[in-house]
Amino acid sequence: MSDAGPPSAAMAAAAPTAPAAPTAPGARTADPSPGTSEARVRVFRGTPGNEPHFDEFDVPVEDGMVVLDALHWIQGHEAPDLAVRWNCKAAKCGSCSAEVNGRPRLTCKTRLSDFEPGEEITVEPMRAFPLIKDLVTDVSWNYEVNKTIEPFTPPADVPQGDWRWQQEDIERVQEYRKCIECFLCQDVCHVLRNHETERPFMGPRFLVRAAGLELHPIDQADRRSYLKDSGGIGYCNITKCCTEVCPEHIKITDNAIIPLKERVADEYYDPLRWAWRKLRGEGSGSGERVELPVLQGEPGAPEQAPD
Question: For residue range 24-78, what is the model confidence (pLDDT) as tens digits?
Answer: 444 444 455 555 789 999 999 999 999 999 999 999 999 999 999 999 999 999 9
What are the phi and psi torsion angles at 90 (to 5°)? -130, 15
**Quick one: pLDDT at residue 272?**
85
Enclosing domain of residue 98: 38-137
CA distance readout (Å), 260 to 90, 171, 204, 294: 31, 17, 11, 21
For residue 306, is it within any domain? Answer: no
Per-residue pLDDT for 306 more than 70? Answer: no
pTM of the model: 0.81
- Same domain for 281 and 170: yes
User: Do both 56 and 191 map to the same domain?
Assistant: no
**Are residues 285 and 147 both part of a single domain?**
yes
DSSP state of 226: I
The answer as to whether 145 is a domain residue is yes
Is pLDDT above 70 for 301? no
In-domain check, residue 21 = no
Do 144 and 275 reside in the same domain of the chain? yes
Q: Is residue 304 in a domain?
A: no
Q: What pLDDT does 199 receive?
A: 78
Residues 127 and 179 in one domain: no
Q: Based on the fold, state whether residues 221 and 96 are members of the same structural domain.
A: no
Backbone angles phi and psi of 27, in degrees to 5: -85, 150
The CATH number that applies at residue 104 is 3.10.20.30
Out of 10-14, 148-152, 291-295, the most confident range is 148-152
Domain count, the chain: 2
Residue 221, amino acid: A
Judge whether 130 and 138 are in contact, CB under 8 Å.
yes
